[in-house]
Structure 1
């Protein structure tokens, strides 16, 4: 009997223990039988990548709901227009611009850029560490062009009170300051005739002049506006970069012509004179140039993409901007493009996709950057301005092929958006397997090429490709209060990088709006775009 009582007691205690464990698990363990994680010092350590992504999405959704409840953005989500509704598509793009602008105005006014999900300001190193309103100045011409009158007015009022020197702090990129700030202000003046913009543009460009005080006249890459001290990037081993010192002339020459102050054009002409006199290896321009006098080419790296791209663009556009009077620039552009076609233009094995490869000496890297996709639009613009019909037809064909290749890089991803860079090998074509190349930061270059192809050919597929991109931006890049880059275009549910780049307004939105507009909106025989898509009037 005593033994049975003892056994009963043991059984009762065991049952109570099991009940206690079950109850504890019910109340304190996470819901979802497949979630594998543990808690340590109030941090959730996720073992399974899919669980981590699910948690991240839940947190992002919660943040979005909280933001909408506390600070609702007064922009209704527009209905996507019918497949053949060009006006509806244009209106939709305009509403995208307003949504992104209102988010910036509400959460990051005066900051350089917006974090659309964190609902705060953002600034990359190219702007130093001051608040210089890069988005306001980069966006104002687009606001004017699309007819957002109140938004344009508030941007104009902010710029009128803005003092660039007082606001800028730390080392600024000379190149980025020139194309975004000087270029954006010059464009606003060209569109409106408002002299305030011209005065501000001259103020900004004047602050950059100490960067040109070098033995050869090749400018430094960085400048501290408070001290006037300038320098090159430490990672560039004291050398200047082709796309940066080579993308000055369009803005500086235009500014001198508008103001009558010759100093800006003189600085740009000095750079051109130096490069004209230098011998080019096999007709190609290396990326790096020493700061010596006379300067010397650095390592023989050649590219149509990063650190080279806008140099070729500006050779062509400077010729166009002068009413085709600058014969030297046209000749040097043609020589450069001929050399690149001869040495760097390839076709893929599988689908005959055309692309400009990279070169390191004689070693070829069969990759093509999103940045380099601008080249399709560049050669189409050349074709549209070329009197020789054989040459024109050749470059129109090249532009079509590049536009097709870049579209393939979009079509072959899970999001319908192309990566930062993609490769061509025997096993891969117009895609990348490199995680570090799979991101998208709202770059405009592919749509830019489609815009020029639409203007030149009127082939409806270019408008359709642009509309596909609009829909994919809405699906994958739209955040709480604006648009964000995405970290992996091959992920069906990509993570956003939470940065709304200022060039979203200056370039991508502008090209999307124009591709659904009539040709009399910024006709290409009257306007030329700088590399940030800021339009300047062509001199006739």
Structure 2
């Protein structure tokens, strides 16, 4: 039966209209949704991310009730008036609220195996049903958009935390600028400068040179310009009258200048790097080329420490010059710099080693090891780090460094890695072939070192084994933090005693060291496991809570007792390393590990010989 509709022409027009609307709607849905951002149209997800980050910055920078001021897309906060002149007060930087809860493990039971601390569940941006920030987030949450999608939640969290760390850097810089400008470090409680013999007792501006690349990376333009002006007008090593550490001057000054040059292509920094490196050349004037520990720049002489047995050179010092001098050689075309450190490498490669391990002391006259003390902490640490990083720095061209590292890595895993009764992996020290079952905060760089090794390893089974070791050691370092009342790890912690991963009374302080945060930074970047990012955030909050003072940050005398007093020094590496690694944890798109390698003072150098060329300027 045929159905008859009234007014057939009208019905036909309606049908055509509906079809047209359907077609146009489908066509529109296939186009990327965009919004206007200034003069540029951006995809909606990018626009939302920018809106979130802008809102976070506005919220953090302004007190409650104060009307938010409009700002341009690329605006950088101006420095408070208090840091314009030395006589004025440092800026009162408003910080997001810090966690007031104790993140430590509390009192442990020595008769029971140590229970692992419960970690925050990972925030899966694809599958998690919870669109809110993690419960442990203590920065005030901002409802920018209703029920934001998960990628935006991650962006919001990172934006908050990046801004938090940046505020810490501003506060640390302001106190230094007010009370110790031009000197090496500040004592925030005493409100005066701090002197260290490693800088020759001179006014070298160590905090300025060491921290300038951090300021640049964070986008603290005004503070960075203050640093650059000091370097241009005031910095010189040639007037130093006392003994200056070859190692410290290389990693902080030469390394700092080279990183600044890599980031800015400003020839000022390359000139300063050459000045420092040339001033330190007397250290290499030994029969073997093994560098001596100290240089008298004025007299052009060098010597080792009197307290070292047989006036030996220290492995972690002369063995940690390679990255800086190789990079400088490539930038300047002066192969003499490279020859200095290559000679050291060749001597070490040929030296006799017990069980494949490198002792901490070497006779610079013979190139032979002195004593049997082996450590991945003080006296040894950065030598091993520089082997794997030299391989990475040269884009895997430095085969000598790779095989030296691979061999010693196997020796370390065989002779120095132990497991405590409660299941914690740790890197022990060796004396006369016997293990000392302790691990230093300095050794907490090892998770990062082994993670880098795993990242470049081609053998699948070995890659897995080494990365598991890196994560196990990272967990142990975290336990040293979690078991402290303050949530901050001590200088040294012991195993198989009354309680694992805890310190003795003489070694339970904290001097704003970066190594634990550094190790977790590498684990976060190379595994993408959220717990490492959370551990860094917990450490940042603990430092903010217990170490922040009116004029900067100080160390703790006892991490197990918040009332025990303070170590009144804001170390130059606090801005250079601790805060840089923390900031970059929440800035995943900055300083990629595929393009940059960090020296042992966290100064980034570009990877690959093609990137080690002087800029045409």
Q: Same fold (TM over 0.5)?
A: yes
Q: In structure 2, what is the equivalent of residue 421 of structure 1?
A: 492
Q: In structure 1, what is the equivalent of residue 93 of structure 2?
A: 76
Q: In structure 1, what is the equivalent of residue 164 of structure 2?
A: 92
What SS is found at the alignment partner of 1:394? helix
Gaps of 5+ in 1: 1-69
Distance 1:228 1:419 in 2: 39
Query: Does the 8 Å CA contact 1:349/1:426 hold for their aligned counterparts?
Result: no
Q: In structure 2, what is the equivalent of residue 295 of structure 1?
A: 367
Question: Is 2:319 the counterpart of 1:250?
Answer: no
Question: Is 2:336 the counterpart of 1:266?
Answer: no
Q: In structure 1, what is the equivalent of residue 349 of structure 2?
A: 276
Query: Does the 8 Å CA contact 2:490/2:510 hold for their aligned counterparts?
Result: yes
1:167 is displaced (CA, Å) by 4.3
Question: Is 2:181 the counterpart of 1:109?
Answer: yes
Gaps of 5+ in 2: 1-86, 98-138, 142-153, 611-617
Question: Is 2:313 the counterpart of 1:240?
Answer: yes
Q: In structure 1, what is the equivalent of residue 102 of structure 2?
A: none
Choose the corresponding residue for 1:507, options 563, 577, 585: 577
Query: Does the 8 Å CA contact 2:428/2:436 hold for their aligned counterparts?
Result: yes
1:341-386 Cα distance to aligned partner (Å, 9 max, x none):
1011001102x11111011112211000000010011111111222
Distance 1:409 1:333 in 2: 27
Question: Is 2:431 the counterpart of 1:360?
Answer: yes
Query: Does the 8 Å CA contact 1:476/1:493 hold for their aligned counterparts?
Result: no
1:423-469 Cα distance to aligned partner (Å, 9 max, x none):
0024220001x222101001000000110111112111111111111
Alpha carbons of structure 1 residues 493 and 71: separation in structure 2 relative to 1, 3 Å = farther
1:386-410 Cα distance to aligned partner (Å, 9 max, x none):
2222222111111110110000000
What SS is found at the alignment partner of 1:448? helix
Question: Is 2:242 the counterpart of 1:170?
Answer: yes
Distance 1:177 1:455 in 2: 29
Q: In structure 2, what is the equivalent of residue 220 of structure 1?
A: 292
User: Map of 1:6-155 to 2, 5 A cutoff?
Assistant: 71-80=88-97, 81-82=139-140, 85-155=157-227
Distance 1:157 1:149 in 2: 12
Distance 1:121 1:163 in 2: 17
User: Map of 1:404-483 to 2, 5 A cutoff?
Assistant: 404-432=475-503, 434-483=504-553
1:280 is displaced (CA, Å) by 1.0
Distance 2:524 2:140 in 1: 19
Query: Does the 8 Å CA contact 1:132/1:167 hold for their aligned counterparts?
Result: no
Alpha carbons of structure 1 residues 94 and 167: separation in structure 2 relative to 1, 3 Å = farther
Alpha carbons of structure 1 residues 509 and 167: separation in structure 2 relative to 1, 3 Å = farther
Question: Is 2:560 the counterpart of 1:487?
Answer: no
Q: In structure 1, what is the equivalent of residue 264 of structure 2?
A: 192
Q: In structure 1, what is the equivalent of residue 445 of structure 2?
A: 374
Distance 2:225 2:498 in 1: 53
What SS is found at the alignment partner of 1:332? helix
Query: Does the 8 Å CA contact 1:476/1:494 hold for their aligned counterparts?
Result: no
Alpha carbons of structure 1 residues 190 and 236: separation in structure 2 relative to 1, 3 Å = same
Q: CA RMSD in A?
A: 1.3
**TM-score, normalisation: structure 1:** 0.85
Q: In structure 2, what is the equivalent of residue 310 of structure 1?
A: 382
Query: Does the 8 Å CA contact 1:131/1:167 hold for their aligned counterparts?
Result: no
User: Map of 1:314-333 to 2, 5 A cutoff?
Assistant: 314-333=386-405
Q: In structure 2, what is the equivalent of residue 538 of structure 1?
A: 607
What SS is found at the alignment partner of 1:400? helix
Q: In structure 2, what is the equivalent of residue 54 of structure 1?
A: none
1:291 is displaced (CA, Å) by 2.1
Distance 1:329 1:467 in 2: 34
Query: Does the 8 Å CA contact 2:352/2:368 hold for their aligned counterparts?
Result: no
Distance 1:482 1:82 in 2: 23
What SS is found at the alignment partner of 1:165? coil
Matched positions, count: 467
Q: In structure 2, what is the equivalent of residue 496 of structure 1?
A: 566
Shifted more, 470-479 versus 314-323: the winner is 470-479
Q: In structure 2, what is the equivalent of residue 395 of structure 1?
A: 466
Distance 1:176 1:165 in 2: 13
Query: Does the 8 Å CA contact 1:165/1:207 hold for their aligned counterparts?
Result: yes
Distance 2:605 2:237 in 1: 25
What SS is found at the alignment partner of 2:550? coil
Query: Does the 8 Å CA contact 2:205/2:235 hold for their aligned counterparts?
Result: no
